[in-house]
Structure 1
Amino acid sequence: MSRQYIANLKSGNQVEGVFLVLKKEIRETKDKKPYLNLQLADKSGCIDAKKWDASTSLYNSFNSDGFIRIKGTVETFNNSLQIKLLEITPVSESEVQMDEFVQSTEKNVPEMLAELKEIIRSVKDPYLSKLLISFFTDKSFVTAFCAAPAATQNHHAFLGGLLEHVLSVTKLAVNFSGFYPVVKKDLLITGAILHDIGKIRELSYERSFQYTDEGLLTGHLISGVLMVNEKASKIEGFPGEHLNVLLHLILSHHGEYEWGSPVKPGTPEAIALHYLDNLDAKMQGALKAISNHKDDSSAWTDYVRMFERRLYKK
């Protein structure tokens, strides 16, 4: 029997297979009967699932971030699909193929990395060039940078997502700088490449995408600043003003205090980076929402949290 991926499920389907457990909790019905409320995933997406008349022993038999084999029926509830679970059996990690559960970029990682390195070679400022080279000749950094997602769910939430997002923002920065010669091109490019490097410390991504302790305690902006400061400190004569404006780019790229930036963009390059970063994230989020909506009878997606509205698909 071929694998049934979540993205292909339709209401009424009988489903049987192994899935990754993203979330699990035990709840009670109005009649005080316990049931399991789960969120299951594979590389194509995630779906809610419920097991009625469940026991505490069944709840304790598997872990969140573990694997279960299920039998069930796909139903529609509040205009969304969910699985009514009939059977649940815990499955050992040794029995699964991980590439079926963790989504990866559809683009060629070595080609994306090569394209980013080509842009790095175009940076003329000697100090910014040395800084970028110090990162991209660091094998452990490059390995993590090429594997990490850019987020846990909203945009580029897949292996290689960080590289894909950074390359897109950097290419936008290259083109943008041609329209505004007053913008310091080398600084904007460097900020675009380094603005999200803290994600490699903020996120864990061996199975599902979760926040690390460092990510929850400090976040990727602070982690990125620490990483840049460490590399810059090893470059003899690295100008203090260069470092200040570059760190400002990283700290301000979310744009607003309520979006996590401790400072708002205060230079032309920082203003540009904020909007270019936001543009790429929003476009990827919109295209993902449209692609994932499988109801061909509707010209509109379901409500998309990122945009707080439905999107027109045609």
Structure 2
Amino acid sequence: MGKKIEYSQIKKAPIGESFVTFCVVRSKEVKYKQNGQPYLVLELGDQSGRLKTRLWNDIDSNSAETPVGGIVKIQAVAEAVNGRKELKIQRLRAASAEDKISADALLPQTAQDVAQLRQMFDAHRQSITNTHLLDLLSAVFRDEVFAKAYFRSPGGKLWHHNYLSGMLEHVVKLLNFADLMNIHYPEIDIDLLKTAIICHDLGKVREYSLNGYIDFSTEGRLLGNGAIGYGIIDGHIRDLPEFPAGLRQQLLHLVLSHNGKQHGAPVEPMTLEAMVLQHLILLDAHTNAILRIRENDVLPDQDWSKYIPLLERFIYAGKQA
């Protein structure tokens, strides 16, 4: 066994080295060996991501120590199993009050400076000149509780920007992209596009729960962020009697169509701004996801990621020419 080290990020733990850390139990499943004996499969997570582990013995006691959403203290070794990193647990116990570890401390967070992101967000918002859209955004962010949740929300559960303030990071990058697009295509209604960028994922504020790990809330699973966001935006528009009906339709179309039907949107993008928004979202989301895969999901001695079903391909992570 390798030398024991203190290590707080399970995804970055070197293969073969033992470490001690805290994790949250993201999921738990009982499976069975060929001889019929049960074992536990856990998915553990911390700030760096998630890894699976298998507990072969003491099923009842280990299950009692590992409720989903609970925090555990582990001593483990990272190992490669079929091209993927997993954890081999040496010791495990439920965290206690004496450990002074909170679920929030285990949530992944953006590596960006959140204060700087907020400044960039505010500058983009202030660049909008359409008074109706400005009134709408003022109404949305007047609720301080909602605004705080918006700026803290992850951008996704697993695929892209899946960490605290990930949505803010995603939105700011999209706003930056929008300015670049507008230089080359001045025909774009930049005020409409920027407002849609700010509003397109509003529903994620209520779509996700943040109890030690990012998961879907009941509302999020039942309705999805598109429907939730539509309701939030339309509710505020209805409180603005002078908001033009045509502008309402244009904005709500961008919100409803931004993922495209292939990703569950009720309608396809059918305006210039809607099509631009969809492509900018894909560009930033896929770039963010691929960088994460290259950094965290490729073993040190490998040049390729595991197969990525969402992209229907492997990702090369070897040395650049």
Q: Which residue, out of 176, 192, 197, partners 2:202?
A: 197
Task: Specify the alignment match of 1:219 in structure 2.
Answer: 224
The aligned amino acid for 1:163 is L
Does the CA-based 8 Å contact 1:26-1:59 persist in structure 2?
A: no
- After TM superposition, the structure 1 = structure 2 runs for residues 141-220 of structure 1, keeping only pairs within 5 Å, are 141-220=146-225
Task: Specify the alignment match of 2:24 in structure 1.
Answer: 20
> Is 1:43 equivalent to 2:47 in the alignment?
yes
Q: Which residue, out of 9, 15, 19, partners 1:11?
A: 15
Task: Specify the alignment match of 1:249 in structure 2.
Answer: 254
Q: CA deviation at 1:128?
A: 0.8
- After TM superposition, the structure 1 = structure 2 runs for residues 60-99 of structure 1, keeping only pairs within 5 Å, are 60-92=64-96, 95=99, 96-98=101-103
Does the CA-based 8 Å contact 1:289-1:304 persist in structure 2?
A: no
Moved more, 237-246 or 52-61: 52-61
Does the CA-based 8 Å contact 2:24-2:103 persist in structure 1?
A: no
Deviations 1:188-214 (A, max 9, x none): 111111101110011112311011111
For residues 44 and 213 of structure 1, the distance between their equivalents in structure 2, rounded to whole angstroms, comes to 25
| Partner SS for 1:60 | helix
The aligned amino acid for 1:147 is R
> Any unmatched runs of 5+ in structure 1?
none
TM-score by length of 2: 0.92
Residues 174 and 80 of structure 1, relative CA distance in 2, 3 Å threshold: same
Task: Specify the alignment match of 1:108 in structure 2.
Answer: 113
For residues 86 and 301 of structure 2, the distance between their equivalents in structure 1, rounded to whole angstroms, comes to 19
Q: Which residue, out of 270, 277, 284, partners 2:281?
A: 277
**What is the aligned-residue identity percentage?**
29
Deviations 1:137-193 (A, max 9, x none): 331221001111011010000000011111111211122122222221111111111
- After TM superposition, the structure 1 = structure 2 runs for residues 223-234 of structure 1, keeping only pairs within 5 Å, are 223-234=228-239
The aligned amino acid for 2:257 is S
Deviations 1:20-75 (A, max 9, x none): 11111121111111211111111012111111123224313331110112233332
| Partner SS for 1:150 | coil
The aligned amino acid for 2:179 is V
Does the CA-based 8 Å contact 2:6-2:19 persist in structure 1?
A: no
Q: CA deviation at 1:87?
A: 2.9
TM-score by length of 1: 0.93
Structure 1 stretches of at least 4 aligned residues deviating more than 6 Å after TM superposition: none
Q: CA deviation at 1:127?
A: 0.4
Q: CA deviation at 1:287?
A: 1.0
Residues 108 and 4 of structure 1, relative CA distance in 2, 3 Å threshold: closer
| Partner SS for 1:304 | coil
Deviations 1:70-128 (A, max 9, x none): 23333221111212223321113673144541111111212212211111111111101
Q: Tell me: higher relative CO, structure 1 or 2? Use CA pairs within 8 A at least 6 residues apart.
A: 2
Residues 94 and 23 of structure 1, relative CA distance in 2, 3 Å threshold: farther
| Partner SS for 1:141 | helix
Residues 300 and 57 of structure 1, relative CA distance in 2, 3 Å threshold: closer
Does the CA-based 8 Å contact 1:255-1:261 persist in structure 2?
A: yes
Q: Which residue, out of 33, 41, 44, partners 1:29?
A: 33
